[in-house]
Amino acid sequence: MPKEQAMRQQASKSRNLSYNGDFYDLIFQNSPRYKEQNQDIEFWLEMAKCYGPSILELACGTGRISAPLGAQGFDVTGIDLSASMIAKAQKKSQKVQWLEGDVRDFSLQKTFSLITFPYDTFTHLHQLSDIKACLRCIKQHLKPDGHFVIDFKNPSYVFNTVNSPHQRDVYSIFQDPSSSRKVTVNRECEYEAAEQLYHRTLLFSWENRSEVVREALTLRIFFPKEIEFILLENGFKILQKFGNYQQEPFKGNSSHHILVCQSMAN
C-alpha cells in the first residue's frame, strides 16, 4: 500500500471520535473555549471582504468557518482529510465546494484570491517535508496578487497564561446522539520541548459505562519567529501580523499569531 494511503487510513482510524463530524461539533460547542474560538468566524468574514471573493479553506473540518462564508455569497472551497468531517460539512452548506484531500498534496485546477488556514491547524504538520509540501501547494493555488492568511495560537501565551503544558482537565461534556448518554471528555497534555511537540490525549467516558476511549493527537508548536522564517524561506512575504481576532498588532503576550502573507515571485 502506498505510504500516503497508509497514513490516511491510520489518521482516520486514530481520529474516530475527535475528528468524527458529529462528535467534533458536539465536543467543540460544549467546550469552555467555544465562545472565544468562535469569534474567528467574524475575523474570517473580514478577511473574505478584504481579499475574496474566491476562497480556499485548508483543513476546513465540518465547515464551521466555510459554511458561513459561503452563506455570505463568497465562492468558497473547503478541503479536509477526514471523510466524516466533510460529510458533516456537506449537510451544513451546499453553497461551498467540499473536497476530501490532504493539505500536503492537492491539485484543484483553480487559483484563489484568498487561502486560509484557521484555528492553529497548521500544527498538524510535524515534519519539515510536510510543511514544505503544503506551502508549495498553497503557492500553486494562489492568484499572483492573492493572500494567504494563517492563524496560530501564540505558544508563549498558551503555555504561560492559559494552559500548563502538562495538565489534565475537562475538555467537553455533551450528550451522545446515538445513546443519549452523557459523554465526558477529559484532556491530558504533555509538551515534549526538545521536539516542540504537544501531545494531547482525549479520554472519552460515557455515563454508566466503564469503557474509556483514549485518542491521542500530536501538534507541532511553532514559535513566532520560526514560522515567519519558514514562510520567508518558502517564498512568502509577510504583510501584516495580528495578535487576536480583533486585528490588534501582534505582541509577545498576544493570544494569537495571525499572519497575512503573499507569495513572492518565483
Binding site for ligand SAM (CB under 6 A): 19, 59-61, 64-65, 80-82, 85, 102-104, 118-119, 121, 124
- Please state the φ and ψ torsions of residue 165, each to the nearest 5 degrees: -65, -20
Cell of 92: 451544513
Q: Does residue 243 contact residue 256 with C-beta atoms inside 8 Å?
A: yes
Helix-helix angle 128-141:224-233, to 10 degrees: 60
Provide the minimum distance between the beta carbon of 195 and ligand SAM in the complex, in angstroms, as a whole number: 18
72 versus 253: smaller Cβ distance to ligand SAM: 72
Q: Does residue 219 contact residue 152 with C-beta atoms inside 8 Å?
A: no
β-strand partners of 199: 190, 218
Cell of 63: 465547515
Instruction: Name the residue whose CB lies closest to ligand SAM.
Output: 61
Provide the minimum distance between the beta carbon of 253 and ligand SAM in the complex, in angstroms, as a whole number: 24
Provide the minimum distance between the beta carbon of 62 and ligand SAM in the complex, in angstroms, as a whole number: 7
94 versus 127: smaller Cβ distance to ligand SAM: 127
81 versus 96: smaller Cβ distance to ligand SAM: 81
Of the candidates 124, 119, 204, the one whose C-alpha atom is nearest the C-alpha of residue 170 is 204
State the residue for C-alpha cell 520567508.
232
Provide the minimum distance between the beta carbon of 54 and ligand SAM in the complex, in angstroms, as a whole number: 18
Provide the minimum distance between the beta carbon of 115 and ligand SAM in the complex, in angstroms, as a whole number: 13
CA distance 58 to 78: 6
- The neighbour count for residue 264, using CB atoms within 10 Å, is 12
100 versus 228: smaller Cβ distance to ligand SAM: 100
Largest CA distance in the chain: 60
Q: Does residue 161 contact residue 90 with C-beta atoms inside 8 Å?
A: no
106 versus 250: smaller Cβ distance to ligand SAM: 106
Of the candidates 183, 173, 187, the one whose C-alpha atom is nearest the C-alpha of residue 205 is 183
Q: Is 115 left (phi over 0), alpha (psi -120 to 50) or beta?
A: beta
57 versus 75: smaller Cβ distance to ligand SAM: 57
75 versus 102: smaller Cβ distance to ligand SAM: 102
Provide the minimum distance between the beta carbon of 39 and ligand SAM in the complex, in angstroms, as a whole number: 12
Provide the minimum distance between the beta carbon of 181 and ligand SAM in the complex, in angstroms, as a whole number: 24
